[in-house]
A = this chain, B = another copy of it.
Amino acid sequence: MAQRLTSADIKGLFEKCNNWGKWGKDDQRGALNYITEKQVARASKLVQTGETASCALPLPVTPAPDNPTPVTHLMVQSGHDAHHTPLPYSGDYFAISFHGMATTHIDALCHVFWEKKMYNGFDASEVGSHGARKCPIDVTRTGIVSRGVLLDIPKLKKVDWLEKGEAIFPEDLDAAEKDHKVHVEEGDVLLVRTGRAANRKAKGGWDPAEGLPGLDASCLKWLHERKIAVLGSDAVSDVMPSGYEGLMLPVHVGTLVMQGIHLIDNGDFDSLSEKAKKHSRYEFMFTMAPLILERGTGSPVNPIAIF
């Protein structure tokens, strides 16, 4: 196991592994800039069988320990009453506060602040009661298409899932690459599986206040070196608790704020894991299209891996 760093060390990584200004002082897209058109075209070449896997949980409409404010899903019209209208139809309505712990969503770069700043130094006050004037989710309006890479830590560790509070260190990422015969590169969408979704299905999951498995903040250096475009997790990327006093979600801060890396939280990589295992192939074409919520701080998403 790695020598644990201190909170001061992690704050040092915030300074060192930092992309502010890298793509200009007005840039609001951050590490998405790593995804060039060439990268998209290259990703399409990975498709072989045409199998697709969803990387998302269903929208969580039922209260659960990790879902205190579920999605409201109601009908505007059902099939019973439909016949009183000129064109019989059914329709529904949903209301969602998607930055929960049970909704698969993408975090925009405006979602988290460090010392009152967001990515590229924009001020937190740019996010007001009418939404985000800087770094909103609609910077992704043409979609995120790139090479996806899965690092399946439970497979590496030969367990069903990591336990709550169990941390993943840089050497685990290295070991997973070796095991999976894949190498994370510039512009990749990196999905790190902890098995939390499997635990949720089998055991009902954890109240996040009790902890979640995820990356130790020492991984920030690794992520920065590899120049990934997007980071995804079936938990919330950060191991919880973080293990660093005074730092609640240091991977969130280090990626969203410092490196401009959009995050996918609460994915479900179980089906993806099965397909990867079946084909012994941990790279695939990845596509995701956040809703165009102008000034939004993120979006629920259903990311798709194509093999």
Answer yes or no: A89 CB below 8 A from chain B CBs.
yes
Q: What chain B residues lie within 8 Å of A304 (beta carbons)?
A: 142-143, 145, 287, 289
Closest residue to A293 on the B side, CB-wise? Answer: B59
Number of copies: 4
A33 within 8 A of B: no
Query: Any chain B CB within 8 A of the CB of A199?
Result: no
Q: In the complex, A227 Cα to B123 Cα: how many Å?
A: 45
Contact partner, A38, options B41, B50, B73, B95, Cβ 8 Å? B50
A143 contact from B61, B97, B291, B302, Cβ within 8 A: B302
Contacts of A45 in B (CB 8 A): 44, 47
Supposing A74-B93, A287-B287 touch, asked if A58 and B294 sit within 8 A by C-beta, the answer is: yes
Closest CB in chain B relative to A34 CB, distance in Å: 13
Segment of A20-28, A111-119, A171-179 in the binding face: A111-119
Given contacts A79-B125, A302-B289, contact A54 B142 (CB under 8 A): yes
17 residue pairs A–B, Cβ–Cβ below 8 Å: A37-B51, A58-B293, A75-B128, A75-B129, A75-B130, A77-B130, A78-B127, A79-B125, A80-B80, A82-B124, A87-B252, A89-B112, A89-B113, A90-B127, A90-B132, A91-B99, A289-B304
Given A45-B47, A141-B302: 13 more A-B contacts, CB < 8 Å: A37-B49, A41-B48, A63-B69, A73-B293, A76-B99, A78-B129, A90-B110, A90-B132, A92-B97, A94-B95, A94-B96, A143-B287, A289-B303
